Structure 1
Amino acid sequence: MQIMVQDTHYFKQILVLFPGTTNSTVLFSAHFDSVPGSPGASDDGAAITVLLQLARLKSLSQTKSRNSFLLFFNNGEEIGLAGSEALLNSKNYTALVSNIKVFANFEGGGTGGKPILFRTTSSQLTQAYADLPYPHMSSFGGDLLGLLGSYTDYQNYVKAGIPGFDVAYYENRRFYHTPDDSLNNISPSDVQAMGSNALALSKTLLNAEWIDNLKIESKNAFYDHFGGYYPVLISPTFQWSLACVLILFFIASLVYGYFYLYVPFKIPDSLVDPSIKSKKTYFGAHLLIFAFQYYSLGRQR
């Protein structure tokens, strides 16, 4: 086990490396800073607790894994993802960073609840997460966080060309970055869920040869079935097929609506659903259809 302290002159951060039989490295990352006035129990104290427990368990193991294991307790996340950027751009850690084949970032976008996988760089990684004890997942969450203006270290790792996962707490968003992000609003079972998943994920990745060949793919869509443990992975082919069907339906419904709303007596009332007789309802429905089209196509960008 090697413990390293990176001093950026503005802050310090800690790296713990467990060498494997190869230099291929699995990175697990969490940040220990929080915004002023917030205890940061979920953002990101719980994840730090998980990484500390992983370090304890790994240090007790007598068996070397194939891949090296790097635990990154980073700082400065709340000031523009400065900690991960400092590591990735440091000349002192160039060799270490170049060996990283895959990462998992553990975050808090809310306070407590079931941690969710909301971004990943490939369907292969999504499937690996689906096999964990508590595989709660939704790719819609990544888009939603973008709309809310929330960012995580995931962005920096992917920008550096490293494939990986982004996992976070998301419930009770109203307590996020407030004094109420405290131990009162996260339960031991919430921490245990993240810990169980992180431990199982580390066991999967640390002995996997396939991480050497991982690539960052186009966005993939995934979700679990009504919050249960039945993940649904949507292939790119199916996404495009669904998008094409929605576009055709959108065009057909526009033509249908035009003749009904603007060309008198072309279509009998008996053939028209009463629910679309209101123009507001009609165009509201089209906005909803367009939103689904945009999301389906957007996952491919």
Structure 2
Amino acid sequence: MLEVLRVLSTSSESLRHAVVFLFNGAEENVLQASHGFITQHPWASLIRAFINLEAAGVGGKELVFQTGPENPWLVQAYVTAAKHPFASVVGQEVFQSGIIPSDTDFRIFRDFGNIPGIDLAFIENGYIYHTKYDTADRILTDSIQRAGDNILAVLKYLATSDMLATSSEYQHGNMVFFDVLGLFVIAYPSRVGSIINYMVAMAVVLYLGKKFWQPKHNTVNYTKDFLCGLGITLISWFTSLVMVLIIAVFISLIGQSLSWYNHFYVSVYLYGTAAVAKIIFIHTLAKRFYYVNASDQYLGEMFFDISLFVHCGFLVMLTYQGLCSAFISAVWVAFPLLTKFFVHKDFQQHGRVFLVLIQVGKYLKIYKASRDYFSLFLIPKPILVFVNTY
């Protein structure tokens, strides 16, 4: 924040809007400083947008994990201006669901000030957070440089934006947003996302409907095998979950809880291997004792259809609930279905359809994000930038 302040104060470029730099304290004690500012300070009524700087780790990319309320223009500002974007609406919905027992000053400004904002946080190496190892020498300077590049660029964009003065007029609906390999961010209104999701679901319905009603196959046997395969799939998922829970309980009983926390891939091998092994075991039993005479090609195509059906169910359910993260299920359905169409000989005979949907799945680790703050330092201007420091 001090470096951004220095750059802005020495720049020859004039800003259309002023900027407030707010250094908060007393966050661990029910977010008192931010609450005091937004409810009592005379400058609070001038604020039109804010950027909240968080940290639940000491390095890596700073993740945009919250935006809102209803701020398509603010997401577009980040998409346009950020030099090294890293954002995911999945993180926003996970954090705001209350699953993670944590809170940030973002909520105070959003709920008590009704101000749109962006919440960014470092999440890498979160295992040292609030421990004796949480020292300044562990902070990665390249991460600070990266964050500074992004924050300065976005702040300059907002400070020269025409929308900032009347930001309340642009608070209409939520946005689906996610970055692609950190190169750029894809963002579109949630209502557009709902249309896309339902179109994908309809494509699955048409595809499976043709399978069930086409005369060249014995649809009775296929329907029976499909339903049995669906049951086998659900059973394999359930038993995998039970196996993972058994391992977790065992590790806790021997006093090694979270022993894998500072080595994330250990948890992948520990729990992931057990889950995959259980799924393979269940399907192997089904192949040996139920689908004895079925060919591998037939089984492969049938379980492909089952996978589409299950993920399409998740897609419809999440979209109906109004969750922007339903785009993940849409990708899991659209890409396999498109691949199937492109390689199918009937499809090649009757024409081609060109459609590209881009998404990269990520593991999102969001750790406890409450912080300690230092004393208040203010400059009277109406964009608010505030940071959580140790």
TM-score by length of 2: 0.53
Who is 1:126 aligned against? 75
Who is 1:53 aligned against? 3
Who is 2:324 aligned against? 299
Match of 2:141 among 178, 188, 201: 188
- List per-residue Cα deviations over 1:175-216 (Å, max 9, x = no partner): 333333334543111000111111111211112221112233
Who is 1:281 aligned against? 233
- List per-residue Cα deviations over 1:131-185 (Å, max 9, x = no partner): 2111111111112223212221111111111111111112233333333333454
CA distance, structure 2, for counterparts of residue 172 and residue 280 of structure 1: 39
Who is 1:115 aligned against? 62
**Equivalent pair of 1:114/1:190 in contact (CA under 8 Å):** yes
CA distance, structure 2, for counterparts of residue 57 and residue 235 of structure 1: 34
Who is 1:20 aligned against? none
Larger Rg: 2
> SS of 1:115's equivalent?
strand
- Residue type of the partner of 1:201? V
CA distance, structure 2, for counterparts of residue 150 and residue 249 of structure 1: 40
> SS of 1:70's equivalent?
strand
- Residue type of the partner of 2:118? F
Unaligned stretches of 5+ residues in structure 2 = 213-217, 238-306, 326-390
Matched, 1:153 2:105: yes
Q: Which moved more, 1:139-148 or 1:99-108?
A: 139-148
Residues matched between the structures, number: 239
Structure 1 residues 235 and 195: CA distance shift in structure 2, 3 A? same
> SS of 1:165's equivalent?
strand
1:253 CA drift (Å) = 11
1:250 CA drift (Å) = 8.9
Who is 1:244 aligned against? 198
1:228 CA drift (Å) = 2.5
**Equivalent pair of 2:201/2:315 in contact (CA under 8 Å):** no
> SS of 1:240's equivalent?
helix
CA distance, structure 2, for counterparts of residue 231 and residue 174 of structure 1: 28
Matched, 1:88 2:38: yes
Q: Decide which structure has greater strand share.
A: 1
- Residue type of the partner of 2:47? I
- List per-residue Cα deviations over 1:53-105 (Å, max 9, x = no partner): 12222333455422111000011122222211011111xx23x1111111111
Matched, 1:105 2:46: no
CA distance, structure 1, for counterparts of residue 132 and residue 121 of structure 2: 19
Match of 1:232 among 178, 186, 195: 186
> SS of 1:65's equivalent?
coil
**Equivalent pair of 1:218/1:299 in contact (CA under 8 Å):** no
Match of 1:178 among 131, 135, 158: 131
CA distance, structure 2, for counterparts of residue 178 and residue 109 of structure 1: 12
Unaligned stretches of 5+ residues in structure 1 = 1-50, 260-264
Who is 2:264 aligned against? none
- Residue type of the partner of 1:126? V
Match of 1:136 among 78, 83, 86: 86
- Indicate the RMSD between aligned Cα atoms, in angstroms: 3.4
**Equivalent pair of 1:108/1:169 in contact (CA under 8 Å):** yes
Q: Which moved more, 1:170-179 or 1:191-200?
A: 170-179
Q: Which moved more, 1:279-288 or 1:121-130?
A: 279-288
Match of 2:122 among 169, 178, 181: 169
Identity of aligned residues (%): 24
CA distance, structure 1, for counterparts of residue 136 and residue 231 of structure 2: 50
TM-score by length of 1: 0.67
Q: Which moved more, 1:130-139 or 1:232-241?
A: 232-241
Structure 1 residues 76 and 280: CA distance shift in structure 2, 3 A? farther
> SS of 1:78's equivalent?
coil
- Residue type of the partner of 2:117? G
Who is 1:8 aligned against? none
**Equivalent pair of 1:103/1:165 in contact (CA under 8 Å):** yes
> SS of 2:48's equivalent?
strand
> SS of 2:198's equivalent?
helix
Q: Which moved more, 1:286-295 or 1:175-184?
A: 286-295
CA distance, structure 1, for counterparts of residue 172 and residue 66 of structure 2: 12
Alignment of 1:195-234 (within 5 A): 195-215=148-168, 216-225=171-180, 227-234=181-188
Q: Decide which structure has greater helix share.
A: 2
> SS of 1:279's equivalent?
helix
> SS of 1:136's equivalent?
coil
